[in-house]
Structure formats: structure tokens, C-alpha cells
Chains A and B, each alone.
Chain A
Amino acid sequence: MRLPYFPGCTLHSKAQNFDASARAAAQALDIVMEELPEWTCCGATFSMSEDSAMGLVAPTRILASAKEAGKLLTLCSFCYNTLKRTNRVLTTDAERRRKVTTFIEEDYQGNVQTVHLLEVLRDSVGFAALAQRVTKRLEGLRVAPYYGCLLLRPAEEMGFDDPERPTILENFLASLGCAVVDFPHKTECCGSFVAVSTPEAAAACSARILDVAVAQGAEMLVVSCPLCQYNLDHAQRQAQAGRGRATRVPVLYFSQLLAIALGCEDACLHLDAHVVDPRPRLSKWLGQQSQATALV
């Protein structure tokens, strides 16, 4: 299967571990992620101003560049949310579509379906088939699935999963052999971009999520958004300095666990890029080189 792929602004820079592990895992599943030849940032947040079309320009141009294939793969929750909601405006509001497509000189009618890698795993690969492809079952690893906001809300526009009780990450983790840890804060906000203006407020949001996950027995959290990863991981560094947290818990991208379970090379994981080092807990599934690094 070949899918046009939009990495977005963060996956080539701060979240290379997300990009590289997803590409390696997809390849192991015979999915070719074909990066769009030209792309820009999607704008990061969906424009909620209905009286202006400027916020729709960048995501519309990105969508239009995938119109031949009719599908566009994303990994980042921000990109997924922005592209999907923008496309909904373009298909339901002919006047705004005309305004934006005229401005960017593109004939785009809104035919592109934005898909997230988790949806491809669920709907095209299938979790039962995925379990058959796993070469290293992550038996005994207690993982809390963290969804955050943007995969799920607004539910009527995203159509990703049940907004209050989602199950896609749980089923994904189970197919890798993990023990899934249910916890009530899995759809709470990590603090998002408030990290830019009021970092302590965002850190408090993240600390609550981490505390509840750890209390439920989680040894690790998985996310699908670089900003969730940053907030949850970095909150523990700040907390370590200030609040004296006893328990530290690694925060991984779902694609990193997928790549490990599919037997991909450790080089795609970039596990050294995390504030809380996940290598000690993952050592029995990693190669010799990563283990040696983890011991240093």
C-alpha cells in the first residue's frame, strides 16, 4: 500500500523519533509512506474564526497537493485535526472554498480523506493481522494509552473514535502484547500550547495525567502528538526540580512501541531523545547497542 504522507512542521525536527519509527514500522507492514514533494506547516491550530479565510490557506494547499491520491496520511494529532477540519469547511461551505481555492489558484473540491496511521492499522492492516506480524511481543509491559484532545474532538468532525471512551489505542497496544492500563485522564488536555505562555499551568495539567496513570499501575504512556509528548515528558523534569515527584514514567510515541514489536532496527527509535529514559524498561526487547547505551 502506498500513501501520500504529510509530516508537518515538528516531525522533521523535534519529533524525528516519531517520524523515523513510524516509517520503519510502516515499511515492515508493507506500507510505503510517500512524503509530499512540497509542503508547508498546516498552521498547527485549526482556525476557529469564521469571518476570515486566511487560516484555511495553508491546510487547503496541503490537501490539494494530495488530490490525485484522494488520501493523505498524517501522524501528528495537530496536523490530523487541522487538515480534517479544514476539509470539512471546504466540503460544507462553498463560498469559503471558492474564496480559498481562488486565492491559492488550485482547483480543489475537497476529495482528500485525511487518515491517521492508527486508522490505517485498524482499518487496512487490522489489529488481528497486526498481532500476527509482531515478532517481539511486549508481554508484561504495562502501558497507559493517552489520547489527548485533537484526535477525538470535536467528535462530529473528527469521527475518529468515541470521544469519551475511545478504544483504538487500547486495541493497538493489546495487539502488540502489552498490558493495557485504563485510566480516567486519557482524554484530558496536557496543557497544549499554553506551554508557550504559562508553562506552569500546562505542567500542572500534565502532572495530573501522569499521577493518575502511575496510580493505575502504568510503567509507560503512549501518545500520538509531539506536543503531548513534550508536555508530559518535560513536566517530569520540572517536577523533578520543584515538586519532588517520586515516580517518573517514560512517554513514548505509539509508533516506537510498534517498531520495537515488529523487530525494526533500534536506530529508528531515538530513545535517547526522551527526558525520562525509556531504555531501562525496554531493554529486553532492544538490541545490544541500545542496552549498552542505557546502562551508561
Chain B
Amino acid sequence: MILPGLHAEDDIIAQIAAISGQDVRACYQCGKCTAGCPLASAMDLMPNQILRLLQLGEHEKALRSRTIWQCASCLTCAARCPKDVDPARVMDALRTLLTRRGLAHVEIPKLSAELLAEAPQQALIGGFRKFVGY
């Protein structure tokens, strides 16, 4: 079970709405979010596919994807969505569903000494909040 404490009958769409304020059902799959996403080439599923999986109740595939951890919250998708859905907030909500259960994407002790020595503090703090939770 990918999400301890999460049951099949739980309404993921409602949980995402509670966290992010976004209704994933509004997406009509135009693909504009994917077209403008600067991290798309590092993703296994495209942003619009994540939205579609959630609409279809296939949230486990979305939660297992590499995609949700590649989103940089640059908000290009949100700026261009014709349906006023904010895919970056949806990605953040999916990460939050996992990190609130302790399922972090980054293990801080395993980060390279070079990164810790050279990266600006804001990258580490921002990264820890996005990939480990708070």
C-alpha cells in the first residue's frame, strides 16, 4: 500500500481540493500545462496525464510517478491554464499527501557534501519543504 492509512474508498479528489483549493475535474486535457512545462523532459508522466489519472481514480499511478517530484512550482502551467486549474498546486498537494505520511522524496543525510556546501540556503530550505515536508 503506497499510502498507509489511505483507503480505496477515500475521496482523493476531495483531499486534493482541501489541500490545494483545486478541482481536478475542471481539466479538459488541452495539454497547455505540458506544452510549457520546463521540467517535462525529466518527467515520466506529463502534467496533463497526472490530472487525467486523478479524474479516472487512478491516483496511485499519479502518486508513484517521478513527475510530482520534478515540479519546480514555477507556475507557468497555472498562468496559462484556460480552465483556471493550477497544476503546480495539484503536484504540491500530491507531494503533501505523501510527506504528511512521512514518505519523503529526499533523505537529507544522503545529500552530497558539495551540494550542501555550495547551494544557496533558499534551495535547501525550499527543497526540504517540497521534498521532505514541514
Which A residues contact B (CB, under 8 angstroms)?
8-10, 13-15, 41, 43-45, 48-51, 54-55, 76, 78, 149, 153-155, 163-164, 187-189, 191-202, 204-205, 208, 226-227, 229-230, 234
Contacts and interface: CB of A to CB of B under 8 A. Distances in A.
Interface of B: 18-21, 38-39, 41-42, 69-70, 72-76, 78-79, 88-89, 92-93, 96, 105-106, 111, 115, 118-131, 134
A204 to B, nearest CB: 7
A48 B79 CA distance: 15
Contacts of B72: 149, 189, 191-194, 202, 205
A205 B79 contact: no
Given A55-B134, A78-B126, A197 B69 contact: yes
B120 A189 contact: no
A39 B72 CA distance: 26
A45 B73 contact: yes
B74 A153 contact: yes
A196 B118 contact: no
B38 A205 contact: yes
Contacts of B124: 196
Given A188-B38, A192-B74, A227 B123 contact: yes
A24 to B, nearest CB: 21
A205 B121 contact: no
A43 to B, nearest CB: 7
Q: Which of B39, B79, B120 has the most CB of A within 10 A?
A: B120
